[in-house]
Amino acid sequence: MGVNKDIELPILQEEEARELFRQSINYQGDLYSDPRIGTHATDLVRAINGLPSELVRYGKSMHGIMDASFWKVAIDDAASKFSRSRSIEDTLRLIEDDPTLGVIGIWGPGGVGKTHLLKKIQGFFRGRMTVIWVTASKECSVLKVQTQILDDLKLKGDGNMRTQSSMIRGFLENKSFLLLLDDVWERIDLDAIGLPLPLGIEPLNKFKRKVVLTTRFTSVCGGMEVKKQIQVPYLREIEAWELFREKVGDQTLFSPGIEDRARILVTEMKGLPLALVTVGRAMYGKFCADQWDSAIQHMKNSCCIDTNEDPLKMEEEVFRKIMFSYDNLKSGRLKNCFLTCALWPEDYEIHKEELAQCWVGIGLVGVGDIQSPYTKAYSLMGDLTGACLLEGCGESNDWVKLHDVIRDMSLWISCGCGKNNGNWFVHAGVGLDEKIGIPWSSAEYISLMFNKMKKLPFVGHPLKLTVLCLQKNNLDETIIDGVLANAATLTYLDLSYNEIKGIPESICYLLELIHLDLSFNKGIQEVPRSFGNLVKLKFLYLQYSSTQIIPKEVISRLQALEIIHVDIMLVSDFVRSNVYTELSTLNHLKVFGTSVILSDAWTSLHDAADLPIRSLRLDALHGGADLPIGSSSLEASAENNEFHLYDILSLDFAQTTLYDLDIAYDRCVTDITLIHRPEQQPYNFGILSNLTLYDLSAWITVKWMGTSPTSVFPRLTCLTVSDCPNLEHLSWAMYLPCLGELDVEYNHSMQKAFTRYHVDNVWSGLESSQTFPCLKQLRLAKCETLVTIADPDVTFPSLEVLLITVCPELKKLPFNMTSLPQSLKVLRMRDTESWERLELEEGVKSFLQPRLQYS
């Protein structure tokens, strides 16, 4: 058309988009505060991603509609059309306009659509600059990349890396170019290849020199000095449906009885494009409902169970392609860590500490000192997340999960990559199924967790079992005998969260046992004398039981113990003293976790001062359990209703090994005191990271004297205060130097959570200190009297997530135009009413609005 200048219409910012949509729907008033459709309107505007014409079109189509179901359909429709197109738009804009970005990284798991996105970029820029495509793949080298570049540029190389580098540099020196590197597995030296540097946009002659790469590993982005990472997400539900529909065809899809089954099948693939395409092609032309039922069953069952031919070609087309990420893991240990994640149920979010405990018990992570096994395990989880084989989840990222298809691949690998060798059997979280055939005679790993099972079959022959996961069932001690009596090779046994009332004798003769978890079996009151037979036992978990009797010389016989968690608050003073004495004789003991009665904590812990106590619960009620004769009474909860925490701090373990501390279930304590007396040395919780204060119904405040929060808690990172209805404020937490997460819920007295001006503010020099220097997440839930969070001079320089739920009186946030939380990514509130109730400056409201979410 002879255009001399093209002008791109930019997408609208959220406030502009909201207003254009409101005008288009012809709504008079504040659309987004409408209790019927306000939240839906906000979600729809966000799904449209600021495209003006679409905002107008959707606005007109939704005029006068108040039915939430119609709005949900519109939101899903918009999300399917614009979520990925927005990613492409953003990437194109970065390439086109940002002079600082020389290298852009697109990352995500295998099969998620990274190459598809790269091809879109290639098509957009072809003809506008020199575009070069290189498929890097595994074991790529500079010479291989040079060869592909020279072929693309139609230049003839001589096989010498140095001369080919000069040839490429000479050709590209005075050109705008875009190098697309697909499937990068390790760092590639761009200078050695021959790319003219620096990359970016040259300011004088406006040459664009850009590299866009795709990879499965975030570590590659770091090695390639990527300036901007773009993660390719899994498809949303409606996006997944449309892709599947495209591959299977409408004629098949909308045949009688097929569509509902197809939607179930799509749900099983959790938005992984490679799986959707593969299965869609496999189901093309299948008009019989039985064929679809069989496919659904195949997807739902682990491939360890199904011995038939793969009807969906998942093995050939999906698993073997995703498996490259598994093959590239740097060690056999990391591969085994990944495989064990599949022992948990599909879609289950595994707490990181729970997974770390498993890896330690199986022997994948060694115990060096009190914290090292957990630190190492969390590092390995980071490696698996960086390889897109594991996903972080939860607001504070304390949980991980496997994508369903990747979990199926893990089980496929564990079972011999399609050979169905019977070594693994996982039937977790699917409910009780008495017909299921369990390969007791051949399996080495069996997971039946989360099934509410009440019985197990009797097994009359020796087993090869080494790992047995039975947690979260309804099993008692009589039921498990039939299996354990023949499981002499068992090394790992998890029976937590069951109905066991006494430790069966059969456990005491599993002489190869290394890991035993009997926690959360509240009926266990006695440890049998024969328990001392478990001389190879390294890891024992008995917390949240009702243990009262531990015979003498049982613990001292467990000389291999490295980690033990056992509650001894219900035992007599004599038994407790004996437990401490025997634990001190264990030469390999690295970690001890326990609970004691709050009222005489200092006395009962005095003999344990030298033990490596990592986690400690000070508990007044222990769920209402009866205390044994000889224990301190609950009425004597604390002298003058005060609990002197500084006394506990004077014990050696509190300063050197204590990592988790819980104080819970007290009805009498009104004040927790931290008083440093002149005759005492200045103590602190040297490594304490997590502090939980729970169900302290009378607690009002923390009293300080002669010390300060920064001195006492130098490394506290997570503070949880729950069900403390009379607590007046938490101002002392503002100055904790490492606090990253603060959770406050169920409070009925607090009107202002944090203030610099109060009677307890006696910490010399802290009044002018920066507040919350490291706080990333703040959660306030069910604080019924809270009016304002903090004084205006309380700042949150690192805050990323602010969650506010059921705080009906809250009217003020501690933000103004000079103290905006610049790091904030998410502000989550319950509903539009909670948001509209806030009294905010217009500029603050505009800053917060794009970060606002409802739950």
Tens of pLDDT along 587-623? 999 999 999 998 888 888 988 999 999 999 998 854 4
Strands laid side by side in the 391-393 sheet: 350-351, 399-401, 391-393
Burial class (CB in 10 A: 0-12, 13-18, 19+), 457: exposed
List the single range of 125-134, 266-275, 458-467, 721-730 with lowest mean pLDDT.
Answer: 266-275
- The distance between the two most distant Cα atoms of the chain, rounded to a whole number of Å, is 97
Does residue 566 sit in helix, strand or coil?
Answer: strand
Indicate whether 657 pLDDT > 90: yes
Query: CA-CA distance, 646 to 684, in Å (whole number)?
Result: 9
Rounded average pLDDT over 483-499: 94
Does residue 53 sit in helix, strand or coil?
Answer: helix
Which pLDDT belongs to residue 396?
73
Which pLDDT belongs to residue 633?
33
Which residues, in sequence order, are CB contacts of 558 under 8 Å at separation 6+?
532, 534, 535, 537, 540, 586
Rounded average pLDDT over 724-740: 93
Which pLDDT belongs to residue 491?
97
Which residue did the predictor score with more confidence, 119 or 743? 743
pLDDT digits (tens, 9 = 90+) for 225-252: 888 888 887 777 777 888 888 888 888 8
Q: Are 215 and 107 in contact (CB under 8 A)?
A: yes
Burial class (CB in 10 A: 0-12, 13-18, 19+), 94: middle
Which pLDDT belongs to residue 632?
36
Which residues, in sequence order, are CB contacts of 341 under 8 Å at separation 6+?
350, 355, 384, 390, 400, 402, 407, 410
What size, in residues, is the chain? 855
DSSP 102: S
Indicate whether 638 pLDDT > 50: no
Indicate whether 665 pLDDT > 60: yes
Instruction: Output phi, psi for 805, to 5 deg.
Output: -135, 130
Rounded average pLDDT over 319-333: 78
Does residue 106 sit in helix, strand or coil?
Answer: strand
Which pLDDT belongs to residue 121?
87
Which residues, in sequence order, are CB contacts of 201 under 8 Å at separation 6+?
98, 99, 207, 208, 209
Q: Are 518 and 545 in contact (CB under 8 A)?
A: yes
Distance from the first to the final alpha carbon of the chain: 50
List the single range of 315-319, 475-479, 629-633 with lowest mean pLDDT.
Answer: 629-633
pLDDT digits (tens, 9 = 90+) for 51-63: 787 888 888 888 8
Which residues, in sequence order, are CB contacts of 161 under 8 Å at separation 6+?
142, 143, 146, 192
Which pLDDT belongs to residue 569?
87
Mean pLDDT of the chain: 85
Question: CA angle at residue 221 from 98 to 174, to 5 degrees?
Answer: 45
**pLDDT band per the 50, 70, 90 thresholds, residue 7:** very low
Rounded average pLDDT over 729-752: 94
Which pLDDT belongs to residue 662?
96
Burial class (CB in 10 A: 0-12, 13-18, 19+), 8: exposed
pLDDT digits (tens, 9 = 90+) for 198-219: 888 877 677 889 999 998 888 8
Q: How far is CA 157 from the centre of its chain?
A: 49
Query: CA-CA distance, 479 to 169, in Å (whole number)?
Result: 73
Q: Are 662 and 616 in contact (CB under 8 A)?
A: yes
pTM above 0.75, yes or no: no
Rounded average pLDDT over 122-142: 85
Which pLDDT belongs to residue 761?
52
HEC-encoded secondary structure of 143-168: HHHHHHHHHHCCCCCCCCHHHHHHHH
Which pLDDT belongs to residue 115?
83
Rounded average pLDDT over 328-355: 91
**pLDDT band per the 50, 70, 90 thresholds, residue 743:** very high
**pLDDT band per the 50, 70, 90 thresholds, residue 634:** very low
Which pLDDT belongs to residue 309?
59
Instruction: Output phi, psi for 618, to 5 deg.
Output: -100, 110
Which residue did the predictor score with more confidence, 639 or 562? 562
> According to the per-residue pLDDT averaged within each range, which of 118-127, 467-476, 704-713 is highest?
467-476
What percentage of the chain carries pLDDT values higher than 90?
A: 41
Indicate whether 831 pLDDT > 80: yes
Rounded average pLDDT over 162-179: 92
Rounded average pLDDT over 77-85: 63
Which residue did the predictor score with more confidence, 458 or 837? 837
Query: CA-CA distance, 626 to 641, in Å (whole number)?
Result: 22
Query: CA-CA distance, 553 to 579, in Å (whole number)?
Result: 9
